[in-house]
Amino acid sequence: MFGAAAEAHPHVWITAKSELIYAPDGTITGVRHAWTFDDMFSSYALQGIEAKTKGAYTREELAPLAQTNVESLKEYAYFTFARGDGKKQRFNEPVDYFLEYRDTALTLHFTLPLKTPFKAKELSLEVFDPTYFIDFQYADKEPVKLVGASADCKMQFQRPNDGSAAAQKLGEQNFLDGGAGNFGMMFANKILVECP
């Protein structure tokens, strides 16, 4: 009854691509996302926004909407959850954000700088909506890139749908915990980077 979130289902679909940004000394400084919204949500978001050329919105015309987007995302911690060697990491407010309109879909680009850039043997980054109002699906091609990372670093990417053991375990744990809070974790996309 109170586990209502467990019955939630998405209203917004995002096709995501992410880049992990490293400094030359091997510290990770932030995450750069490119999130493409489904066409229903894209037209919803574009409602009331005037374009000089019909059906073609420029970056400038979309700037106020991009501003609204990143401001609203703050409440949800940008749906981006990072851990360095098991320790939770926090992000500053997004920088370099803009919206792009192509093929009836909006893509939100933004960079999340880490509050404190860090080095970690094992970095995990999860992208998901705990309430599963938004469904995050990573792009088929080049879903995740490491930018400027040492060649020794190994990246592993787990999709929520591949039935990986980790996702299953999370799911069970989640239900054992009572369920309502972190249902969306079952739909988490998990990026693991190991650097020696």
Partner 1 sequence: MMQTLSRAMRGLALSVAVLAAVALLDGAVHALLAQNPFGAPRAAEPEGGIVGWLLAKQSEFYRQMSATIRAAKSDGSAVWTLLAISFAYGIFHAAGPGHGKAVISSYLVANRETARRGIVLSFASALMQSLIAVLIVGICAWLLNATAKTMCGAEKAIEIASYALIAAFGARLVWVKGGGFIRALQLPRPALAMAGAHHHHDHGDHDRGGDHHHHAHEHHDHGHDHTHDHGHDPHHVHDEHCGHSHGPTPAELAGPGGWRRGLGAIFTVGIRPCSGAILVLVFALAQGLFWAGIAATFAMGLGTAITVAAIAVLAVSARGVAEKLSAARDGGGMLVMRGLEFAAAALVLLFGIGLLLGYVAAERVTCL
Q: Which amino acid is at 79?
A: F
Q: Which is nearer to partner 1, 24 or 163 (CB)?
A: 163
Q: Which is nearer to partner 1, 67 or 150 (CB)?
A: 67
Q: Which range, of 37-45, 88-96, 113-121, 143-151, touches partner 1 by CB under 8 A?
A: 37-45
Q: Which range, of 33-41, 87-95, 109-117, 119-127, touches partner 1 by CB under 8 A?
A: 33-41
| Residue 38 binds partner 1 (CB under 8 A) | yes
Q: Which range, of 26-34, 47-55, 89-97, 148-156, touches partner 1 by CB under 8 A?
A: 47-55
Q: Which amino acid is at 84?
A: G
| Residue 30 binds partner 1 (CB under 8 A) | no
Q: Which amino acid is at 167?
A: A
Q: Which range, of 95-103, 114-122, 145-153, 170-178, touches partner 1 by CB under 8 A?
A: 170-178
| Residue 135 binds partner 1 (CB under 8 A) | yes
Q: Which is nearer to partner 1, 43 or 150 (CB)?
A: 43
Q: Which is nearer to partner 1, 43 or 116 (CB)?
A: 43
What is the distance between the alpha carbons of residues 33 and 55, in angstroms, rounded to a whole number?
25
For 65, 98, 182, the CA distances from 130, given in Å and listed in that order, are: 24, 25, 5
Binding mask 75-114 for partner 1 (x = CB under 8 A): ----------------------------------------
What is the distance between the alpha carbons of residues 55 and 29, in angstroms, rounded to a whole number?
37
Ramachandran category for residue 2: left, alpha or beta (phi over 0 → left; psi -120 to 50 → alpha): alpha
Please count the CA atoms within 13 angstroms of the CA of 106 that sit on its side-chain side: 27
Torsion angles phi and psi, residue 86, rounded to 5: 85, -10
Other C-beta atoms within 10 Å of 148: how many? 13
Element (H, E) at 173: helix 165-176
Distance of CA 58 to the CA centre of its chain: 24
The binding site for partner 1 (CB under 8 A) comprises: 1-13, 38-41, 43-49, 65, 68-69, 72-73, 131, 133, 135, 137, 160-161, 163, 167-168, 171-172, 175, 179-180, 186-187
